[in-house]
Structure 1
Amino acid sequence: MVIRLDLPHFHLSELEIVDQLVLERQNGINRLYFTSIHAEWRARMGLYVAVNGNPEAIAPWPDVSAKGVGDRFRNLYLSPGAQSVQKPILDALRRRTLTYCPACGEDGTPNTLDHYLPKDTYPEFAVSPVNLFPMCDICQGAKGTKLLSTDNERLFLHPYFDAFIDTQLVELTIDGPYNAPEAIYLTAAAGLSDASRFLIERHLRELSIPSRYYRYFSEAYLRLLRHIQRMRSKGSDICSRLEDFRDMEALKSVNAWGHIFYDGVLRDNALLDYLLNSPDLPQV
């Protein structure tokens, strides 16, 4: 479940970064090459921002697709010079401290930068800040270099540009029996447009989030049953406590895994009745 990130802001704009990268190459062996593609590189960077990085609207650049040419751009990311314009930008992006993966919402500190448009296919965006954001290893492995469906529809949400991800994207449904649920379902939240709903479904599928979330749910549900037993023995207001747990998770994001879990529990009246009143909670 994607979590919205603020756009990264640096002292140079995306276009000014391109200008500076070309300027820094003026004393090197690739001087003539970067001078010759400067205007088109700038135009492609402007297109990226204008269409919010959507690969449906940004075809790969044939002139830089050859490996030897593309490596001139990829090496800006892989081997930035100590005094280069991109080095402090990349360092700042890597220092960004998060406690969850923006691509899936799972807790944990993402330890790598992902290229939304892969640098293998779009090397010209290899050091563009708007194309780089933290991602967990599992998501990055699942995403790989995938971009578009067979119907030419983008597969992934963009944490910088998809404004609607400020709202809850996914709802959890829990199948009984409630002492040991047999299945759960993650579905796009009500009220979203068809286009947003289909995009969310592709994003969930391509990052294998439903199966990953089921493992999380299994452990979280057992902890919930244990805690319900304790709350019952203390005479606690169980619904109020569950709302507190949900609201605490929402401080991270309404699309964090914990918030999705407690929201699903609180929306299920039959489950709440079971938790509050069943005489045979399992001893877990």
Structure 2
Amino acid sequence: MQYLEDFLIELPCSWLNLATASRKENVRELMAISEELAEKYPLYEGFIRNYRVELEATGFNNHRNLLVEYYEKAPASLNRELLVRRNEHGLYSCPFCGNPKKPDTLDHFIPKDQWPEFSIFSNNLVPQCRSCAPIKGENYYSVENGTAKFIHPIYLDLLQRFRFKVTVTFNRETNIPSFSVVLRKLQATEGDEDQRVVFHIKNLKVKQRLIKFCQDDYRRWQTRLSKRRFDLRVALRQRLNETPENDRGIDWKSAFIEGLLNNEDAISYLHSLRPNTMNEPLFPIVEELELE
């Protein structure tokens, strides 16, 4: 879970200009409401920070299809910006949940179908993993709790202040591990900020997903060690060293590795699965061939 302050694009939003400068057949319709749209953008940060205030219904109902179309079927110049934001962000874990996969989709933090005025507003589009996408979907506000359900990683650094801690418990009778997850707070918070982070995590079902990740990754190591003899501690530390020490626990993988390294029973059991000798290459090389 990361703070994406570098993703903030200062106003005025150039993406709207790219859209109105296009040659799409309905561009005149967009131009007719462009000034009204531009007036909404400076209000956006206030909506994010006043997370306890439920957003009023959109005033752009009559233009919903038009505005969503400019995102889903963006003109070439705007589409290039969308692709950069979706694919060339340099992130290797989801800023919303910590899933250790490169985010490859964009989330409309304020949902575009309910508030189409933010369909092509740059700061409303956040890189996200495909596991979070269907869970968050069009969800935004909890009437029951009187608060926005999620934390915007571009405007707020709350998620960055916490780390996941995975504890591995190993049953020596069954040789089956179990995994538990807690959040560690590294920096001070104020008011209800702790509750906001927990609510965000709960609504994205992160705990269940992280435990499932630990179970799957444990099985992967189990399979590798049953086929090849190597020192698991060395391999895990090598993987862990790929993550700066201060960032460990932001993503699921580093949290899992730290947890596994702290359980000697699990490591010993996995080592017991190793074959007695190193596997020989399946197809030994008998000659070298030059490639033209």
Could you tell me which residue of structure 1 aligns to residue 69 of structure 2?
A: 75
Compute the displacement of 1:19 (Å).
6.9
Relative to structure 1, is the Cα distance of residues 180 and 70 closer, same or farther in structure 2, using a 3 angstrom cutoff?
A: same
Q: Measured at CA, do residues 9 and 88 of structure 1 come closer, stay the same or move farther in structure 2, by a change above 3 Å? A: farther
**Residue 107 and residue 31 in structure 1: after superposition, are their counterparts in 2 closer, same or farther (change >3 A)?**
closer
1:247 aligned residue:
241
CA separation of 1:280/1:164 partners in 2, compared to 1, >3 Å: closer, same or farther?
Answer: closer
Shift of 1:113: 1.3
1:103 aligns with 2:96: yes
| Distance in 2 between residues matched to 1:166 and 1:229, nearest whole Å | 37
Give the aligned partner of residue 3 of structure 1: 2
- List runs of 5+ in structure 1 lacking aligned partners: none
The count of residues paired between Structure 1 and Structure 2 equals 264
Matched to 2:58, the amino acid is: P
Match of 2:214 in 1: 217
Contact 1:94 1:113 in 2 (8 A): yes
- What SS class does the counterpart of residue 148 from structure 2 fall into? coil
1:250 to partner: Cα distance? 4.1
Distance 1:189 1:141, change over 3 A: same
Aligned in 2, Cα 1:82/1:262: closer, same or farther, shift over 3 Å? closer
Map of 1:164-175 to 2, 5 A cutoff?
164-175=158-169
Q: Is the 8 A contact 2:158 2:197 kept in 1?
A: no
Q: How large is the Cα RMSD of the aligned pairs?
A: 3.9
**Partner of residue 149 from structure 2, selected from 155, 168, 189:** 155
Q: 1:228 to 1:33 in 2, by over 3 A?
A: closer
Residues 46 and 171 of structure 1, relative CA distance in 2, 3 Å threshold? same
Picking from 175, 180, 200, the partner of 1:185 is 180
* Residue of structure 2 equivalent to 1:28: 28
Q: Secondary structure at the match of 2:96?
A: coil
Give the Cα separation in 1 of the matches to 2:8 and 2:270.
Answer: 55
**Per the alignment, in what secondary structure is the counterpart of residue 169 of structure 1?**
strand
Q: Look up the equivalent residue of 1:4 and give its one-letter code.
A: Y
For residues 114 and 14 of structure 1, the distance between their equivalents in structure 2, rounded to whole angstroms, comes to 20
Question: Is it true that 1:56 corresponds to 2:49 in the alignment?
Answer: no
Identity of aligned residues (%): 19
Counterpart-to-counterpart distance in 2, 1:31 and 1:237 = 61
Give the superposition deviation at 1:57: 4.4
Which TM-score applies when normalising by structure 1?
Answer: 0.73
Greater fraction of residues in helix: 1
More displaced stretch, 145-154 vs 25-34: 25-34
Deviates more, 1:118-127 or 1:49-58: 49-58
Q: Does the CA contact (< 8 Å) of 1:104 and 1:209 recur in 2?
A: yes
Mean Cα displacement is larger for which, 128-137 or 216-225?
Answer: 216-225
Q: CA deviation at 1:202?
A: 2.2
Paired residue for 2:139, among 139, 146, 168? Answer: 146
* 1:259 equivalenced with 2:254 (yes/no): yes
Kindly provide the CA deviation profile for residues 138-158 of structure 1, in whole angstroms up to 9, marking residues without a partner as x. 211111111122212222232
Contact 2:13 / 2:121 at 8 angstroms: preserved in 1? no
d(CA) in 2 for partners of 1:169, 1:203: 14
User: Structure 2: which 5+ runs fail to align?
Assistant: 275-292
Deviation of 1:31 after TM superposition, in Å, equals: 4.6
Matched residue of 1:189: which SS? strand
Q: What pairs up with 1:128-143 in 2 under 5 angstroms?
A: 128-143=121-136
SS of the residue 2:131 aligns to? helix
1:224 to 1:190, Cα distance in 2 relative to 1, 3 A:
farther
What is the rounded CA distance, in whole Å, between the counterparts of 1:27 and 1:124 in structure 2? 15
Assess if the C-alpha contact under 8 Å between 1:89 and 1:129 holds in 2. no
| Matched letter for residue 212 of structure 1 | R
Relative to structure 1, the CA distance from residue 88 to residue 151 in structure 2 (aligned partners, 3 Å threshold; closer, same or farther) is same
